[in-house]
């Protein structure tokens, strides 16, 4: 069964450093998303991406964040200057089309900012 793949599974970084989280969405999917989940809290929407541009973003997704689809298979989330409060699980998801189809989530990257 096709799946969304995220790397690395766990990343530790120092405060102020840049990090790039990587995702390989399901190959025929066109819509891509990032969500995050701070430990013990709700899953929160960050951004959706379609046709090589951001289609929606939440207020969490400020200027420190950016997304990119650098080639035909990868989808990345960059955090420019990490803060302690960026420590969370970050989930990538993809869907075949928008609307009512289901989103498939990856297993997440645990980001720890020290």
Partner 1 sequence: DAKTTQPPSMDCAEGRAANLPCNHSTISGNEYVYWYRQIHSQGPQYIIHGLKNNETNEMASLIITEDRKSSTLILPHATLRDTAVYYCIVRVNYGGSQGNLIFGKGTKLSVKP
Burial, 106: exposed, middle or buried (Cβ in 10 Å; 0-12, 13-18, 19+)?
A: buried
The radius of gyration of the chain's CA atoms, rounded to the nearest angstrom, is: 13
CB of 6 to partner 1, least distance (A): 8
Closest CA to 113 of 16, 22, 9: 16
Q: Summarize as ranges the residues that interact with partner 1 (CB under 8 A).
A: 4, 31, 33, 35, 37, 42-45, 48, 50, 55-56, 89, 91, 93, 95, 98-108
CB of 95 to partner 1, least distance (A): 5
Q: Which is nearer to partner 1, 4 or 113 (CB)?
A: 4
């Amino acid at each position: 069964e096709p799946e969304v793949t995220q790397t690395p599974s766990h990343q530790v970084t120092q405060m102020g450093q840049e990090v790039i989280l990587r995702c390989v969405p399901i190959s025929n999917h066109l819509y891509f998303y990032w969500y995050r989940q701070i430990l013990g809290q709700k899953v929160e929407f960050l951004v959706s991406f379609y046709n090589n541009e951001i289609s929606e973003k939440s207020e969490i997704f400020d200027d420190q964040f950016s997304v990119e689809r650098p080639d035909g298979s990868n989808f990345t989330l960059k955090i420019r200057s990490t803060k302690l409060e960026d420590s969370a699980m970050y989930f990538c998801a993809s869907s075949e089309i928008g609307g009512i189809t289901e989103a498939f989530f990856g297993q997440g990257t645990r980001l720890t900012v020290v």
